[in-house]
Amino acid sequence: MILDIYIMILLFVLGLVMGSFFMVVGSRLPKGESIIKPRSHCDECGHILEWYELIPVFSFVFQLGRCSKCKTKLSIAYPFIEILNGFLFSLSYALYGFSYEMIAFLIISCILVLVFVSDFMYMIILDEPLIIGSILILILKLYFFGFNTFTRSIYSGLIMFIFMLLVKLIGDKVFKRESLGGGDVKLVTFFGFVFGVRLSFVSIVLGSFLAFPYAIFTSFSKKDREVPFGPFLILALLLVFIYMEPIKDFLNLFVFGL
Binding site for Zn ion (CB under 5 A): 42, 44-45, 47, 67, 69-70
CA dihedral 218, 220, 221, 224 (to 10 degrees): 70
In whole angstroms, how close is the CB of 225 to Zn ion at the nearest point? 28
In whole angstroms, how close is the CB of 1 to Zn ion at the nearest point? 45
Beta bridge partners of 48: 41
Q: Which is nearer to Zn ion, 10 or 45 (CB)?
A: 45
φ, ψ at 4 (rounded to 5°):
-60, -45
In whole angstroms, how close is the CB of 50 to Zn ion at the nearest point? 12
Q: Report d(CA 19, CA 136) in Å as an integer.
A: 19
Q: Which is nearer to Zn ion, 47 or 152 (CB)?
A: 47
In whole angstroms, how close is the CB of 63 to Zn ion at the nearest point? 10
In whole angstroms, how close is the CB of 44 to Zn ion at the nearest point? 4
Q: Which is nearer to Zn ion, 41 or 225 (CB)?
A: 41
Picking from 236, 141, 139, the residue whose alpha carbon sits closest to that of residue 187 is: 236
Q: Which is nearer to Zn ion, 49 or 242 (CB)?
A: 49
In whole angstroms, how close is the CB of 189 to Zn ion at the nearest point? 40
Burial of 21 (0-12, 13-18, 19+ CB in 10 A): middle
Q: Which is nearer to Zn ion, 68 or 208 (CB)?
A: 68
Q: Which is nearer to Zn ion, 70 or 255 (CB)?
A: 70
